[in-house]
Amino acid sequence: MAVKRAAVLLPLLVHLQLMLLHGMASASSERRSGTIVRQPRPQPLLQEKATLLALKQSLILLSPSVLADWNESSDVCGFTGVACDWRRHHVISLSLAGMNISGAVPPVIGNLTHLRSLDMSSNFLMGRIPAELSNLRRLQVLILGRNQLSGGIPPSLSELASMFYLSLKENRLSGTIPAAIFKNCTRLGLVDFGSNDLSGEIPGEASVNVADWFAILNLYSNRLTGRLPRWLANCTYLYLLDVENNLLADELPATIISGKQQLKYLHLSNNNGFWSHDNNTNLEPFFVAVSNCSQILEIEAGAVGIGGLLPSRLGTMLPPNISHLNLELNKIKGQIPADISDVINITLMNLSSNQLNGTVPTSICALPKLERLSLSNNALMGTIPACIGNATSLGELDLSGNLLSGSIPSGIGIGLINLYLQNNRLSGEIPTRLAECIRLLHLDLSNNSLMGEVPERVSGTAIIYLNLSHNQIRGELPRGLGDMQQVQAIDLSWNNFTGMISPQLSSCRELEVLDLSHNSLTGVLPPSLDLLEDLKNLDVSDNSLTGEIPMNLTKCTSLKHFNLSYNDFVGHVPTTGVFANFTFLSYIGNPRLCGSVVKRNCQRHRSWYQTRKYLAVMCVCAAVLAFMLTILCAVSAKKIRDRLTVVREEMFRGRRSGGSSPVVKYKYPRITYQELVDATEEFSADRLVGAGSYGRVYRGTLQDGTMVAVKVLQLLSGNSTKSFSRECQVLKRIRHRNLMRIITACSLADFKALVLPFMAKGSLERCLYAGPPDELSLVQRVNICSDIAEGVAYLHHHSPVKVIHCDLKPSNVLINDDMTALVSDFGISRLVMSVGGVANTADVGASTINMLCGSIGYIPPEYGYGSDPTTKGDVYSFGVLVMEMVTRKKPTDDMFEAGLSLHKWVKSHYHGRADVVVDQVLACMVQDQTPEVRRMWDVAIGELLELGILCTHESASMRPTMMDAADDLDRLKRYLGGDTAATFASSLGFSSMTIEDIDG
């Protein structure tokens, strides 16, 4: 009997209950002998009418027509949203969902004691849930979801013993879930607390009777911790379990779901950490349990940390009805089983960001309903199956970030909407069949070795995002670019495109990014580009474009990034409108441009390039001038050299003299703008070694042969001048082997540059991400972290004036020839002065109070709340950098979204599963080593991860100092060097604290 009841209740339970309460029970009359006879209005109903009118008065009605029929002259059973019992004695249902009402939930509702259903969802209700709702002892359905309610869930709701459906989702509720609700509400069948701010554990006990009714538990997007409650295993008719986006940590719930014939939805993604059986190495028990859930439709277990091999019989173990399988962002290894074709109803398969290898099985092509396939960021090799075009339902294919080679299949599916094949080793030409993909919205084939020309109509009219950059594509730009009416980004950079830029690009009215740099384009920049009102980024650098810069580009008021460098543009550089925001760095390598921005006289330019009237006279004058200068130089050369020698000697002695290029004070050699121009070959592209928001860095050679790095600041605002002054002030005060030193500086009104020692190996960011994958060993990474810690510890504790760096990240750490790390870029640093014994943080040059200091991903949380920069902020940034060194993942990586951060990701895998987050290059380095070396490797990785977690504690007071961190890393260096007596825990003062205590 129980099985039969559940089979009927499960699909219809909620629908029937609401229909009975809101529909049939709202009949306001009885039929007697075919005539509707109205009953006299009973006294209780008059009292309930008064209660409803008082309720209306307590609410804020945001629309005049809302509850207009709630008045004294109307029948209470005819009120909008009100239903009475069939005898018209009591109000039993109140439905105000989506009524555009605001204010607090009126406690007066507690007077409607016969109410069985209350629905006030999808409004703008605020404040706490009133405890008076516990007076509604007959209530079976309570729906307050999709409002702005705050505070905790009242424990008094547990007094509603008849409650079946309780929904408080999408509010701002906090605190814990009252355990009494699951103990006392013995008919509870549906609980939805999703998308709130609830914390603590899910109640671990429930009434025995709950198991007879319970079907749905929705707790997604909260901050719940602990394990899944084991009483769920007794809920025979469990239909949906959704605990995504929490902080739960538990073994995969094989026992809970086993035998659940009604289970359809299992959502576990984005939690603190789940693990598979046998110490996170065996996925088979979980999928065996899944095989017994014959009705299951969706399994979402992405970003939970599970590991092991996919079972070889996965296709036969998954129930035939399953449509969604999401296991992304885990540490699943091995090959994709060939029998995956047995899952004939699957529509979404996401195995991205794991450790899968082998090839893409051809059996995937046989999945008739497959709509989305994502296998990105693995180590898959071989070719893309030629049969992929047979998957006629396929709308999204993501194979990016693998080791795939060969060509793109010529028969690729014409139903594609999104195609991502970037960051592979693909070659050959772009298939012409892509032109038939008329629904294609996103096409990314970047960072491959594709050749040939772009098929004429590949750029279909529906495309929103097109990226073919970093390939070897040749030919003219596709004519179809102008037909893409909805395109927002076009990136064709770093190819071999030739020909002219078509004026038809101006038809792409939604375009925000246009990058055609590093090609061989010729002709002029079309003036019609001014029609692109939303254009934010225009880069045509490193081509062979000529003509004048179109003045009407000033109409592109959204333009933020503009790069015309290394072309052959001529004429005057505009300075009005948006052009006022761009410096000479946008025009470098265009010798025929003139104007104040590029420091070339336009009159001379116009005379030379626009007329030949005085050419003969100019030639004669030039010859005479050259002859006179030759004589003058011959007579005065020795005197000039002697004078220059005296000046330089005086400069080194600290004397100052006037000139066109003011220099940094005492003991820093004088250098002029022209000398920097000569040293960098006119700031040529061949000398460019780095660029960022601050400007560009060029490799230079001074007259005495010294190799230097010339850091040219991009002068966009007064803050750039302050940044230059600030960096000079810091660099001249500090001396440490792990801090960048300054050689000299050059400062003009519209040009400012720092001259620094040249580091051939570049930045730590380049070594981590752009260099050979095996460039940095574990010992080198530890040494680099130690160098950085020593340098910053000096700034915080030993420098003559305490310095807070404020922007510690890999791109601001340089590596010299012997792999020593030097902290650089003090453009937003702070000096801490001591005034009357009280530390005072000063922004050198000018105040930047309330400015958020640092780079996204490295900024400590307290800065976001307005706190002033402190040394503990640098400690936080250092902690992120340490975790980045171990994981080779940037904190701004695409995987870190929906609340997941580098800190949370590392912390969730710290216990027993550290290999999930460790850079796979490091893991490969140690595989063939002795057990002793592997043990030392495990110790070192564990120490680095723990140090990173401690330094990124959410509470600044709980973070160690940089001196403590430096001491800890010094001990770790000695340990890796053979000193097995080195210890770590005591140095940070956290010996009594476990990693679970770290709440950051």
CA separation, residue 38 to residues 20, 29, 32, 35, 44 (Å): 21, 6, 10, 10, 16
**3-state SS of 128-139?**
CCCHHHHHCCCC
Q: Taking the mean position of all CA atoms in its chain, how far away is CA 664?
A: 40
Closest CA to 386 of 410, 364, 419, 354: 410
DSSP letter at 550?
A: P
Written as one letter, the residue type at 160 is L
DSSP letters, 715-760, are --SHHHHHHHHHHHHHHTT---TTB----EEEE-SS-EEEEEE--T
Q: Which of 807, 843, 919, 967 is catalytic?
A: 807
Helix (H) or strand (E) holding 442: strand 442-444
Inter-helix orientation angle 962-976/778-793, to 10°: 150
Residue 17, CB-side half-sphere exposure with 13 Å CA sphere: 20
Question: b vs e for 764-790, b when ≥16 Cβ sit within 10 Å of the residue's Cβ?
Answer: bbbbbeeeeeeebebbebbbbbbbbbb
Q: How far apart are CA 701 and CA 758, in angstroms?
A: 10
Q: How far apart are CA 211 and CA 228, in angstroms?
A: 15
Active site residue 807: yes
DSSP letter at 486?
A: T
Written as one letter, the residue type at 820 is T
Main-chain dihedrals φ then ψ at residue 349, nearest 5 degrees: -130, 115
Q: How far apart are CA 494 and CA 500, in angstroms?
A: 16
Are 359 and 381 contacting, i.e. CB atoms less than 8 angstroms apart? yes
Burial-class residue 532 by CB neighbours within 10 Å (0-12, 13-18, 19+): buried
Are 275 and 269 contacting, i.e. CB atoms less than 8 angstroms apart? no
Question: b vs e for 141-162, b when ≥16 Cβ sit within 10 Å of the residue's Cβ?
Answer: bbbbbbbebeeebbbbbbbbee
Task: Return all residues near 126 (Cβ < 8 A) that are at least 6 apart.
Answer: 102, 103, 104, 147, 148, 149, 150
DSSP letters, 207-230, are -TTHHHH--EEE--SSEEEE---G
Q: Where are the beta strands (DSSP E) in 168-209?
A: 172-175, 190-192, 197-201
Angle at 447 between CA 445 and CA 453, to 5 degrees: 55
Paired tokens of 963: 């001196």
Task: Return all residues near 171 (Cβ < 8 A) that are at least 6 apart.
Answer: 144, 145, 146, 147, 148, 149, 150, 195, 196
Closest CA to 277 of 298, 259, 296, 258: 258
CA separation, residue 72 to residues 37, 38, 55, 63, 75 (Å): 22, 18, 13, 20, 8
Closest CA to 700 of 692, 714, 689, 716: 689
Other CB atoms within 10 A of residue 983 CB = 11
Paired tokens of 935: 């043990």
Q: How far apart are CA 169 and CA 85, in angstroms?
A: 29
Any bridge partners for residue 451, and if so which? 429
CA separation, residue 319 to residues 328, 417, 580, 737, 771 (Å): 20, 28, 63, 63, 45
Paired tokens of 368: 């008739």
The residues assigned a catalytic role are 807
